[in-house]
Structure 1
Amino acid sequence: MSDEAANVPAAQKSGWTSFLKSLASFSGDLSGLTAPPFILSPTSLSEFPSYWGEPKDLFASIADGKTPEDRQLRVTKWFLSTLSGQFTRREKETGSEKKPLNPFLGEQFLGSWDNGELVLTVEQVSHHPPITAYHLENKKRGIVFEGNCAQKTSFSARMISVKQVGHGILRVKLGDGSTESYLVTLPKLKIEGLWTGKPYVELTETSYIQGSHGLTSTIKYSGAGWVTGTSHSHTTTITTGPGGPTLYTITGTWTGESRFVKPSKEGREGTVFLDAGEEGMREPISVKPVKQQGEYESRRAWKAVADGIRSGDYNAASVAKGALENAERQRRKDEQAAGQQFQLRLFDLRQNDPEYAHLAALLKFKPEEEDSWILKAQ
């Protein structure tokens, strides 16, 4: 074994080498490829929408915007503040990025902040392809963020490329009783550092925030290259619409500080727009104790797997993971034999969502899919 995998536990080096060889020879979507246990996260992908809610004060403050321009800035600031938690936290906590557990069909993640003022509802609405639907709502402030996300992964040039498929729509109720909405598209990412045994995430290409009032935020991501560049960098422009005049340009890192640069109105040039590393900005979600959770709730369902990963007993984690996945396969076979179809409990499918289509048209964006998942009436 070369020193390329020096960060891999000694007992896992053989499995890691086999995994890298599998990656190199694999074609198509990698979502079904089994990763060695030590690279697994004890957290299911169904928990990831909680990152949208962690900067809860920035989310709530969107309602304080007095003008469309002000609210566009606030939505953009909130969105940028969520990225560090989503894509660098596990690297900081464990020394490398970990592969989340793949949610099973119907898996749920439920939680809240501030004693239920901000509530998150998540359900795995599809397994093939894997799609996670989420609904984040602050009823007191009249703000909802609802959407769905899936991942398409591939391997090339010694890294894993991940295309996040899906979208979110943020709605804020205004003082006059009307509702303003924002289409949020998702960045692509790449996972590098595989050959050193310390995977990490870098965001790539471009994502957008399109307001129903016409303003557009365009976020271009870049990272450290062989010679120049800074990790986790972005340049964000807020324009009067796609290709329209620029109102604001903001540059920096989505893990640290971002500042206004030219052009900038109201004397903001050089001032801090966001410090994503500010202490106390993000607050973890509160969930019920595992013993009080329902059978479909994520932390209860994956408890034995998560316990094995956290304790370093990867054999126990692998056995528990296999048992859960085999039980799910059997449920699907039993449903098929009985002529039944799995019934979702929390979300309904809205095909050809007109709100999404309208916002995508404002963005001049040709959508790959126009379906949305909507929380069932409670």
Structure 2
Amino acid sequence: MPKSQLQCYGEEVYCGGCDMLSRCNIVAWSISTRRPVIFGVAPYNPILGETHHVSTPNLNVLLEQVSHHPPVTALHATNEKEKIETIWCSYVVPKFNGAAVEGQVHGKRELKLHNHGETYEMNAPYLMIRFLPVPSCDWVGNVHIRCPESAIEAELCYTSHTLFGFRASRKSIKGKIIDSISTKILYEINGNWDSIVTAKDTNNGEVRVIYDAKEVISGLQTPVVKDSECVWGSESAVVWSEVSEAIMNKEWEKATEAKKSVEERQRELSRERITKGETWLPKHFTLSHSKEGGWNCFPIQNWVPPSPIQTL
């Protein structure tokens, strides 16, 4: 099923990671937000003001496209019962490198455990798109997770190993969890983020599985609309409904025309705002930018409300 980039971002949070949030397994949760990417399959570029609002049994997730040039996406997910909250501000900066393109994911990502008084700050790996010798897409790079309140830090390194591009990619991950005060390594992380990841306790040598991709991904479910009348007109599935329907029916010309219609409507709205001297503002977030810190997003509501679109 064709998807918007907002839906892809949302799935990173509401598909598979909820139980890990409640167990406060921050490193495993961070790894669970990665999904294999298929070369040549691209989501829709979200339009300005597009939203994606989904609820799971214990998590309400809301995304909004808060800027179009450059494209900036804001995410707010909350579990009011467990007092858990995550806030993301994501924007991708492409970097061309010969036979490859690096999609560097910028923006602040926070996971707040309010009952523990802890805030975990983290970044994301970047997407490496290779064209030669064999087309491929992989998550690579370093991820740093830190919590000033608990003095716990984690360093993760995503790598992709190939032999002249002809051997299947091994989506490896290595890292460590550190006590930042004593600088002692508490756990060593090893494995493949698309299969099994383990943590070795440096005190006693015990090794345990902290993430099983097969278990998580096999449990993914497509969100279902429970009340169509309450779905916002800005919802991704609504915005791109005609395009998606045409693609599913393999009516390529109709899909192209429907996509052009969505984009032309956005240009018309932009021209109207310019004529009236109006400035567009996000509905669910405030947006700021600084030369030093880049883009940042702040949710307007403390807790995300339940959505008429739900997963079981």
TM-score, with length taken from structure 2: 0.86
- Counterparts of 1:57-136 in structure 2, within 5 Å, are 57-62=19-24, 74-84=25-35, 87-88=36-37, 91=38, 96-114=39-57, 117-136=58-77
Residue 244, structure 1, aligned to residue 195, structure 2: no
> Percent sequence identity over matched residues?
23
Q: Would the aligned equivalents of 1:250 and 1:273 in 2 still touch at CA under 8 Å?
A: no
Shift of 1:205: 1.7
Residue 372, structure 1, aligned to residue 296, structure 2: yes
Say which structure is richer in helix.
1
Q: Residues 156 and 351 (structure 1 numbering): CA distance in 2 closer, same or farther, change over 3 Å? A: closer
Instruction: Classify the secondary structure of the residue corresponding to 1:295.
Output: coil
State which of 137, 148, 163 in structure 2 corresponds to 1:201.
137
* Amino acid of the structure 1 residue aligned with 2:47: F
Measured in 2, the distance between the counterparts of 1:43 and 1:229 equals: 26
Instruction: Classify the secondary structure of the residue corresponding to 2:23.
Output: helix
Shift of 1:201: 2.0
Measured in 2, the distance between the counterparts of 1:219 and 1:142 equals: 26
Shift of 1:236: 1.6
Q: How large is the RMSD of aligned CA atoms in angstroms? A: 2.6
Shift of 1:306: 1.2
Measured in 1, the distance between the counterparts of 2:245 and 2:132 equals: 25
Q: Which has the larger radius of gyration?
A: 1
- Counterparts of 1:114-263 in structure 2, within 5 Å, are 114=57, 117-174=58-115, 179-193=117-131, 200-212=136-148, 213-226=150-163, 231-241=170-180, 244-261=183-200
Residue 45, structure 1, aligned to residue 2, structure 2: no
- Counterparts of 1:235-314 in structure 2, within 5 Å, are 235-241=174-180, 244-261=183-200, 264-269=202-207, 271-278=208-215, 282-284=219-221, 286-288=223-225, 291-292=228-229, 293-314=231-252
Instruction: Classify the secondary structure of the residue corresponding to 1:203.
Output: strand
TM-score, with length taken from structure 1: 0.71
Q: Would the aligned equivalents of 2:89 and 2:109 in 1 still touch at CA under 8 Å?
A: yes
Q: Point out which structure has higher relative CO (alpha carbons under 8 A, 6+ apart).
A: 2
* Amino acid of the structure 2 residue aligned with 1:238: I
Unaligned runs of 5+ in 1: 1-40, 63-73, 353-366
Q: Residues 124 and 137 (structure 1 numbering): CA distance in 2 closer, same or farther, change over 3 Å? A: same
Unaligned runs of 5+ in 2: 303-312
Q: Would the aligned equivalents of 1:351 and 1:370 in 2 still touch at CA under 8 Å?
A: yes
